[in-house]
Copies of this chain bind each other. A is one copy, B any other.
Amino acid sequence: MLRLHDSQDSGNGYKVRLLLALLGLTYERVEVDILNGDSRTPGFLAMNPNGRIPVLELGPDGPLAESNAILWYLAEGTRFLPSHPLARARTLQWMFFEQYSHEPNIAVVRHWICHLGLDDARRAQLPARRAGGHAALAVMETHLATAPWFGGGAMTVADIALFAYTHVAGEGGFELAGYPGVTAWLERVAGQPGHCPMLPAPTGTVSPPAGG
């Protein structure tokens, strides 16, 4: 069985949970207390030397790290990953945008505000991170003026990757009211059959709902 090492309040972990739910897959979920250093133990580092969740254990194929690589692996051959090379490349374009231009601003500021608090060093970086986050949201808004989804003609793993931290951007002080295209897109993603919320995140065996 697939085993997901995850932290309940992590959008990177939630990406994987959400795709597993949309695909109706059963898996075992292990909660990792990252604030307590549990992603830095020798056992965890043996799975991912970079010491970050999520990690998906694939059974005999070993552990796979990096949320967006896990999404790609799980989505291959499903409706969440297009088959045309150009659509696949555009899907990846948005997933790399998410990790480079979106997550380090929107997710990091949220993590500071919700978990770590604002010390002097973080407070000094806040204006640049805030500007970077709004720039990323503006790029998304521009794209959504011309297309309903990121990466293809239907919802893809690029949408899942971008949804995870965008839908909780307000918790980091990023007001979404100025981005009507983004807000409408969030509703489209959340309305997909099989969608699961970020919280609560159950531990142990997670199965798709009966009749789902």
Given A124-B124, A125-B125, the answer on whether A85 and B99 have CB atoms closer than 8 Å is no
Q: How far in angstroms is the closest Cβ of chain B from A161? A: 10
Residue in chain B with minimal CB distance to A76: B85
9 A-B residue contacts at CB 8 Å? A50-B139, A58-B86, A64-B93, A69-B96, A72-B89, A73-B86, A73-B88, A96-B96, A100-B103
Could you tell me which A residues sit within 8 Å of B by CB distance? 49-50, 52, 58, 61, 64-70, 72-73, 76, 85-86, 88-90, 92-93, 95-97, 99-101, 103-104, 121, 124-125, 128, 136, 138-139, 142-143
Question: B61 near A86 (CB under 8 angstroms)?
Answer: yes
Given A76-B85, A96-B66, A124-B124, the answer on whether A50 and B90 have CB atoms closer than 8 Å is no
Residue in chain B with minimal CB distance to A74: B89
Q: Give the docked Cα–Cα distance between A136 and B69 (Å).
A: 18
The one of B68, B138, B139, B143 that contacts A92, using a Cβ cutoff of 8 Å:
B68
Question: B86 near A66 (CB under 8 angstroms)?
Answer: no
Residue in chain B with minimal CB distance to A56: B89
Q: Give the docked Cα–Cα distance between A124 and B122 (Å).
A: 10
Q: Give the docked Cα–Cα distance between A64 and B68 (Å).
A: 19
Q: How far in angstroms is the closest Cβ of chain B from A16? A: 13
Report B-chain residues with C-beta under 8 Å of the C-beta of A69.
Answer: 89-90, 92-93, 95-96
Q: Top 8 nearest A-B pairs by Cβ distance?
A: A73-B89, A69-B92, A69-B93, A66-B96, A66-B93, A49-B142, A49-B139, A99-B100
Question: A49 near B143 (CB under 8 angstroms)?
Answer: yes
Q: Give the docked Cα–Cα distance between A103 and B96 (Å).
A: 12
Q: How far in angstroms is the closest Cβ of chain B from A25? A: 16
Residue in chain B with minimal CB distance to A65: B93
